Amino acid sequence: MRILVLGRSGQVARELARLSGAGHEIRLMGRDAADLSRPEAAAEALRGVLLDFPAQAIINAAAWTGVDAAETQEAEALAVNGAAPAMLARIAAEAGLPFVHISTDYVFDGAGETPFAPDAPAAPLGAYGRTKREGEIGVAQVGNPAGWVVLRTSWVFSAHGANFVKTMLRLGAEREALRVVADQIGGPTPADAIARACMTIAEALAADPSKSGIHHFSGAPDASWADFAREIMAQADLPCRIEDIPSAEYPTPAPRPLNSRLDCQSTTTVFGLSRPDWRESLARVLTNPGARA
Ligand SMILES: NC(=O)C1=CN([C@@H]2O[C@H](COP(=O)(O)OP(=O)(O)OC[C@H]3O[C@@H](n4cnc5c(N)ncnc54)[C@H](OP(=O)(O)O)[C@@H]3O)[C@@H](O)[C@H]2O)C=CC1
Ligand SMILES: Cc1cn([C@H]2C[C@H](O)[C@@H](COP(=O)(O)OP(=O)(O)O[C@H]3O[C@@H](C)C(=O)[C@@H](O)[C@H]3O)O2)c(=O)[nH]c1=O
């Protein structure tokens, strides 16, 4: 399938690029080619690319992902996470192409202990979550007849970019012990599995646009950040002790949801995708020299 991807150096964008050749032709558009903080100019650039690249679907793997920075730069984050996805959905609809957009567990308030279903009410706690929710609403409102999916995922990791695994590997090599929150629970999700899921979804939408909607995809089993950190140290053979702490003892500018569990059943039923075991993916990521760079 020929796919136009927004994003280039990001975790998921890089993994989508790696699918090129395996029966797919992937064209990436990074910030240099389409700056989503200026959605109108980006729209023009995108229309230009579609003239010479006959894409069969569009996947948006670009976003403002600075959770704390969004608290003080919400307008900038809103342009990229809120306005741009709606613009991309409109262009996809105009061109008759299925559109896959990625969103986050941070659209939920994290109340309770039950996994959030795709139709559970969103109530973001911080600016990043609010801007991502605006993007979801925009994409859904366009209602692209060629098919659209908002795929919510959580706690993304890979050997590249900024993520919790890389932070833990860096800190774990420097310190004897780390204090990590144990009351926030969610599903760590490997970026390569998200990339493959997006491709499967794009293909399914092309065949049957009625599969459109919001779906969830996260790694299993659910764990706390502290559990995740302990597994990283164990698999990386780092003698760094992880001490469980409550969120109150690790204050951050943006509050994080305590319950980030996502109910991924519809993704299995509709697209045949099951939750990847993040512990196995972590082992693969750790064999990549980029992970410790
Ligand atoms: N990281 C996480 O833990 C989670 C991420 N998600 C969602 O998954 C998706 C992918 O995230 P991830 O791969 O981690 O992202 P990264 O933070 O690794 O990369 C961000 C990507 O967004 C692009 N980007 C940022 N600002 C702009 C801009 N102004 N104009 C154009 N492109 C821009 C970057 O472009 P360039 O390549 O040019 O630098 C880069 O490709 C996002 O929608 C994110 O919200 C959901 C849950 C968890
Ligand atoms: C480094 C560190 C973090 N923490 C806590 C802070 C926070 O609650 C949790 C995770 O920290 P981070 O800042 O790495 O993760 P954060 O940026 O909140 O990650 C989020 O990113 C966005 C983009 C998403 O969409 C979410 O799904 C989620 O992955 O770990 C500790 O308790 N101890 C530590 O030493």
| Tens-digit pLDDT profile for residues 51-110 | 999 999 999 999 999 999 999 999 999 999 999 999 999 999 999 999 999 999 999 999
Average confidence (pLDDT) over 10-19: 97
Q: Which residues contact 103 (CB under 8 A, 6 or more apart)?
A: 132, 133, 135, 136, 150, 151, 152, 153, 214
| Cα 5 to middle of ligand 2, angstroms | 26
Residue 9: CB within 6 Å of ligand 1?
yes
Residue among 64, 67, 116 whose CB has most ligand 2 atoms within 8 A, to mutate? 67
Q: Where are the alpha helices (DSSP H) in 175-224?
A: 191-207
**So what's the pLDDT on residue 240?**
97
Taking the CA atoms of residue 103, residue 108, residue 114 and residue 118 in that order, the dihedral angle to the nearest 10 degrees is: -40
Q: Is 167 in the pocket of ligand 2 (CB under 6 A)?
A: yes
For residue 2, the tally of other CB atoms under 10 A from its CB is 13
Q: Are 60 and 138 in contact (CB under 8 A)?
A: no
**Strand stretches in 89-234, DSSP E:** 99-104, 148-153, 156-157, 177-181, 185-186, 189-190, 213-216, 223-224
Q: Model pTM?
A: 0.98
User: Count of domains in the chain?
Assistant: 1
Domain-embedded: residue 280 = no
Kindly state the DSSP code that residue 183 receives in the 8-state scheme: S
Cα 181 to ligand 2 centre (Å): 9
Tell me how far the alpha carbon of residue 226 lies from the centroid of ligand 1, in angstroms.
24
CATH of the domain at 204: 3.40.50.720
Closest atom, ligand 1, to C-alpha of 9: 37
Q: Is 203 helix (H, G, I), strand (E, B) or coil?
A: helix
Beta strands in 159-240 (DSSP E): 177-181, 185-186, 189-190, 213-216, 223-224
Q: Is residue 249 part of a domain?
A: no
* Domain membership flag for residue 139: yes
What is the 8-class DSSP label of residue 256? Answer: P
**What are the CA-CA distances from residue 100 to residues 136, 138, 243 (Å)?**
11, 13, 39
What residue owns the CA closest to ligand 1's atom 1? Answer: 156
Q: 99-139: per-residue pLDDT in tens?
A: 999 999 999 999 999 999 999 999 999 999 999 999 999 99
Decide if pLDDT at 23 tops 90: no
- Whether the per-residue pLDDT at 159 is higher than 90: the answer is yes
Residue 115 domain-assigned?
yes
User: Residue 292's pLDDT is what?
Assistant: 86
Tokens found for residue 4:
């136009």
Q: How many whole angstroms separate alpha carbon 81 and alpha carbon 84?
A: 6
Ligand nearest to the CA of 42: 1
The answer to whether position 292 is within a domain reads: no
Closest C-alpha residue for ligand 2 atom 32: 180
Instruction: Judge whether 250 counts as a catalytic residue.
Output: no
Cα of 133 from ligand 2 centre, angstroms: 19
Per this entry, what is the length of the chain? 293
Greatest Cα pair distance in the chain: 56
Is pLDDT at 22 greater than 80 in this prediction? no
Indicate if ligand 2 lies below 6 Å from the C-beta of 228.
no
Residue 1 Cα to chain centre, angstroms? 21
Ligand 2 mean position, distance from CA 253 (Å): 12
291: in domain:
no
Q: How confident is the model at residue 272 (pLDDT cuts 50, 70, 90)?
A: very high
Range of the domain at 130: 2-162+189-218+261-275
* Average pLDDT of the segment spanning 15-22: 91
Is the model's pLDDT at 27 over the cut of 80? yes
- Determine, yes or no, domain membership for 251: no
The encoded tokens of residue 262 equal: 């996502």
- Residue 206 inside a domain? The answer is yes
Active-site residue (options: 64, 128, 148, 225)? 128
Q: Which ligand is nearest to the CA of 164?
A: 2
